[in-house]
A and B are shown apart, each in its own frame.
Chain A
Amino acid sequence: MSAAEEVVTEAPAVEAVPKRAMTLGYGTSLVVLAALILTPLFVKNFVIFQMTMLLIYALAVLALNILTGGSGQFSLGQSAFYAIGAYVTAILMEHFNVNYALTLPVAGVVCFGAGFLFGQPALRLSGIYLALATFALALAMPQLLKLGFLEHWTGGVQGLVVTKPDAPFGLPLSQDMWLYYFTLAVSIGIYVASVNLLRSRSGRALMSIRDNEIAASAMGVNVALYKTLAFGVSAGITGIAGGLGAIAVQFVAPDGYTITLAISLFVGMVVGGVGWLPGSIVGSAFIIFVPNIAEGISKGLSGAVFGVLLFLVIYLVPHGARQVALIAQQLAAKLKKN
Chain B
Amino acid sequence: MRRPKKYEAGEATQYISRRAAIRKLQLSLNDFRRLCILKGVYPREPKHRRRAQKGSSEIKILYHTKDIRFLLHESIVWTLRDYKIFAKKTSRDRAIKDFRNLKRRLALFPEIKLDHIVKERYPTFIDALKDLDDCLTLLFLFSTFPSLHLIPREQSNLCRRLTIEFLHYVIASKSLRKVFISIKGYYFQAEIKGQKVTWIMPHYYPFKPQSRQEVDFKVMSIFVEFYTILQGFTNFRLFHGLNLAYPPQFPSSLLQDNEDTFKDEASFVSDRIAALNFELLRTDKVQEDEEEPDIDMELLEQDGDSKRIIKMKQEAQEVSRLRTLFKGLKFFINREVPREPLVILIRSFGGKVSWDASVFPGATFAENDETITHQIVDRPSLSTQYISRDYIQPQWLFDCVNQRQLLPTNDYFLGETLPPHLSPFVDSKRDSYIPPEEKALHDPSLIETHEQSEEESEEDEAEKEEEEADQELLDAQLQLAYQQETAEYKKYGGPDGVNEDEEDLSEEDDEEDDDEEDVDKEDVDEQTKRKQQEKEKMSVQSGKVHKVNKRQVHKAEVDEHRLQARMVKPRHRNLFRKLIREKQTKEKEEWLLRKKRRNIDADTKEAKKAAKREARKLAAEAAARAAKLVK
Pair from one complex: no
